[in-house]
Amino acid sequence: MGIFDFYLLETIINGVLFGGVLALLALGLNLVFGVIDVIWIAYAEIVMVGMYIIYYLNVVLGWPLVFAALASILGVGVVGLLVHALIISPLLDTPPINQLLATGGLLFFLQSFATLIFGAEFRNLGLSMPILQFFELYISFSRLLAFGTALVGMIALYLFLTRTYIGTAIRAVAQDREIMSLMGVNTRKVYLITSAVGGGMAGLAAILLVLQQDVHPFIGYTFGPITFMICVMGGLGNLLGGFLAAFIMSQIISIGSFYVSTELAYVIAFILFIAVMFIRPEGLFQRRA
Amino acid sequence: MKRWLPYGCIALLAVVPFAPVPLYYLHLAILILIMGLICTGWSLMGKFGLVSLGHGGFMGIAVYPMALLWNHYGLTPWLGAPIGVGLAVLLGVLIGYPAFRFRVVGHYFALITLALGEVVRLSIIAARELTGGSLGMTPLRVQPITDVSWYAVQFTDKRYFYVIALVAWLGGLWAWRLVNRSMARSALEAISEDEVAAASVGIHVTSQKLRITLLSAAMTGLGAIMLGQYNQYLNPNSLSGISISLEIVFASIVGGMYTMLGPTIGALITIVFRESLRAYFGATLTGMAETIYGLLLILFIIFMPRGLWGFVVARFAHPTGDTSRLEVAATR
């Protein structure tokens, strides 16, 4: 019995760390979702672009990992900017579902473009990240790193949104976009900056993901859906809510995988999401308006 | 003259398999008809603003029980198919009733259906002892092996499948026509314009939305059943989940979900385009076809949101280019 509880403890700790990865993934999407009210259905594929940037610079061109990582943040930030400028902004006045579908086209495009350039093979950096041992507990270092980065990323984003002028403008636009443009705020600029920052967050998530997973063109399907669910469950644009929702989902998946199987654990997580949508469509942690 | 045009086209389609058509083209025609039925089913919801990203879920839940019942109990697909369609409809009730009752709309409806499609896909993979998981499964060959088995719905000759698919597709168009000529259509249009206002004039929003969802689920389930039976191979990744769901959505958009033939034209464009690019680029440039396809999708949604056929119909009906009437014309 003692052994049993022990494995469960390890499962729970790994679940917390996995939650860090999910929380980090959700940050950028949450920002874009909350401010522009657009779902980038290709968000996971944009993260994939970052993973390929790091792979290409580090493995093919032989750049040091740190520079490759910085290039990922910048590069994906530019991708975010382009997504808004080229796809979202011509569609801002159309039904919201059109924006979602257009980024769905982007999903196909990025997936197959990656296949075209890198092929369907699984690629990795060839690094083996250490596994830390605390007494009898084995914990993956890369997950610990992701957890820490998610925490730092969230705090940084929070400070950016509350302590800077442009951050305040972003929050104001999120609250009421029509009034803010009447007040003389250049909403287009605010949207572009938000998209770039959201993209940069995706680039950050890509760094942590590429350290622990192989990258392949269809990797987006593995973590894309769960990322959307987390954002919505936490309440749109609610950074802390998204963070908490990431940990709820990761615990369900982690403990579910432990007791039944990974697939059924995801099934439970998705069904919970559907149920939450029925009961509290504004998200678990959103104050009712 | 114009009255007889549709019947002429149907007659032409019906005699196609008896002309010396290369097998490959017959194969494409069957796929187009089946995908056309599925996309028509999706568009019945899509054109009233109910954008589902989880129609793959209706496919998976319909086709797997039929194949499993055949493999384990020898139950003929003629009975397995209604059971499968029934299950798809049941799934439609389970997701639709609460969603419409609690007024989950727009983005949120898209996301819960996305989750639904994944739930079905992952459940099929999780039941790998039964379903073969991601590797897929094949329905057992009828014993003793014959060329034409009506009991097992297994034919070596593709022409049987063509006729079955044609009949089902025509049935789908007929359903579209019935909806278009019914009061339900006006009700649903009112709902998609303004749900609260529609409810205030006495339209039962939940029941109207639910009925169209169930019809759509049934058509999608039937299409999936034919696809599985025709390919004699079932795979959870191609018959459920996010990938096929998005494919359905995009084929419908490219063709034009507001017109009766639009979704089928979309399926035709998608399949022919992919096949011909694949033939053109061959194995040298894997992914080229899909890259161009993805790019075109983005352009379509930005510049031609009513789809290719919707655009053609609108132009044909209003050659003056009076765009204010586009929407009305395209829905006819």
Question: Is A218 inside a domain boundary?
Answer: yes
Domain chopping of chain B, boundaries? 2-331
SS3 B323: helix
A1-to-A4, A259, B16, B76 alpha-carbon distances in Å:
5, 15, 70, 49
Nearest residue of B to residue A282, measured between CA atoms: B108
Mean pLDDT score, A163-182: 84
Cβ within 8 Å, pair B298-A109: yes
Number of Cβ within 10 Å of residue B17's Cβ equals 18
Grade residue B328 by pLDDT with cuts at 50, 70 and 90: very low
A289 in any annotated domain: no
With a CB cutoff of 8 Å and minimum separation 6, the contacts of B110 are: A39, A97, A100, B51, B52, B53
Task: Tell whether B217 lies on the interface with A, counting CB pairs under 8 A.
Answer: no
For chain B, the average pLDDT equals: 87
Q: Do A105 and B300 touch (CB under 8 A)?
A: yes
How many whole angstroms from its chain centre is CA B76? 24
At residue B284, does pLDDT exceed 70?
A: no
Q: How many CB atoms lie within 10 A of CB A14?
A: 20
Q: Give the closest residue to A14 by CA, choosing from A266, A262, A247.
A: A247
Residues of B in contact with A116 (CB under 8 A): 285-288, 291
Question: What is the ipTM metric for this complex?
Answer: 0.84
Give B292's contacts (C-beta < 8 A, 6+ positions apart).
Answer: B277
Confidence band for B125, pLDDT divided at 50, 70 and 90: very high
Residue with the two structure tokens 């029934």: B86
Expressed in percent and rounded to 5, the helix, strand and coil fractions of chain B are 75, 0, 20
Domain span at residue A205?
A: 2-279
State whether B112 and A113 contact (CB < 8 Å).
no
Q: Does A96 sit within 8 Å of B298, measured CB to CB?
A: no
- CATH topology assigned to domain B2-331: ABC transporter involved in vitamin B12 uptake, BtuC (1.10.3470)
Residue-level pLDDT at B211:
94
What's the domain count of chain A?
1
**Inter-residue contact A283 to A238 (CB < 8 Å):** yes
pLDDT digit string, tens, across residues B64-123:
999 999 999 989 999 999 999 999 999 999 999 999 998 888 888 998 999 999 999 999
Encode burial over A72-105: b for 16+ CB neighbours within 10 A, e otherwise.
bbbbbbebbbebbeebbbbbbeeebbbbbbbbbb
Give me the percent of chain A exceeding a pLDDT of 90.
Answer: 29
Q: What is the CATH number of the domain that holds A201?
A: 1.10.3470
- Residue B122 phi, psi dihedral angles, 5° rounding: -70, -35
User: A28-51 pLDDT, tens per residue?
Assistant: 888 888 888 888 889 999 999 999
The residue in chain A having the minimum alpha-carbon distance to the alpha carbon of residue B120 is A267
**Ramachandran region of residue B321, left (φ > 0), alpha (ψ -120 to 50) or beta?**
left
Question: A264 and B123: CB-CB below 8 Å?
Answer: yes
Most confident of A147-156, A180-189, A249-258, B28-37: B28-37
Q: How far apart are CA A265 and CA B281, in angstroms?
A: 41
| pLDDT for A243 beyond 70 | yes
Cα angle B51-B56-B57, degrees, rounded to a multiple of 5: 95
Task: State whether residue B149 is helix, strand or coil.
Answer: strand
Strand partners, B155: B148
For residue A131, give the H/E element and its range.
strand A131-134
Cα–Cα distance, A251 to A255 (Å, whole number): 6
A289 pLDDT more than 70? no
The pLDDT tens digits of the residues spanning B170-185 come to: 999 999 999 999 988 8
A257 interaction partners in chain B (CB closer than 8 Å): none
* Whether B192 contacts chain A with CB within 8 A: no
H-state helical runs in A37-123 = 43-55, 65-82, 96-118
In a domain, A288, yes or no: no
